[in-house]
Amino acid sequence: MKFLCVDCDRQMEFEDRTVPGDGTFAAVFQCPACERSTAMLANPMETQLVSSLGVQVGGRTVPEAPMEGIRSQVSSGRDDAFVEPTETPTGPVQWSVEAVERLNHVPSFVRGMVKKIYNEYAKERGLAEMTPGLMDRARTDLGLEDM
């Protein structure tokens, strides 16, 4: 993907990347000819998606994860192969049949990430079972209703 200046029809150059700490990021690009700037803002879910695909906007800002290069090249056949298990004080988060069916409607390339987000949400609240109702509440609380 490239950003082009509409007035100059020149490829814009990366200028700055900001990570405010709320799960979003912003990237600023500038035209080398007319110096017009444009910015791109990604919400938390888009930021997770970009990160999970290994796309780097403006260079690396976090240290490389162990085995990151290998993980990006390996297809394990399991959506959650590299997702660490999340445990509540009473053990791992259990998923109801209905919640699993709903999760199966999520595209496979982001399913592990989505499951991890829901597991972390349940763990932070000390909840032992993921249900469709809890998934709805998590989407609202996390500001993800429009996704």
> Which CATH number characterizes residue 119's domain?
1.10.8.550
Least confident range of 53-57, 74-78, 134-138, 139-143: 74-78
Which of 8-22, 31-45, 65-79 is predicted least confidently? 65-79
Rounded CA-CA distance 131/11 in Å is 47
Q: In this structure, are 86 and 118 located in the same domain?
A: yes
**Digit-coded pLDDT (tens) for 22-41:** 888 788 889 999 999 888 88
Task: State what percent of residues in the chain have pLDDT above 90.
Answer: 16
| Coil/strand/helix, residue 29 | strand
Q: What is the CA radius of gyration of the chain?
A: 19
* 94 shares its domain with 129: yes
Domain limits at 137?
79-142
pLDDT confidence bin for 6, thresholds 50/70/90: confident
The C-alpha atoms of residue 60 and residue 58 are separated, in whole angstroms, by 7
Measured CA to CA, the distance from residue 116 to residue 87 in angstroms comes to 11
Tokens representing residue 77 in the block: 């056949």
Is residue 86 located within the same domain as residue 136?
yes
Answer yes or no: is 45 within a domain: yes
pLDDT at 48 over 90: no
- pLDDT(82) > 80: no
| Rounded-to-integer distance, Cα 121 and Cα 114, Å | 11
Question: Of 127, 145, 143, which is closest to residue 24 (Cα–Cα)?
Answer: 143
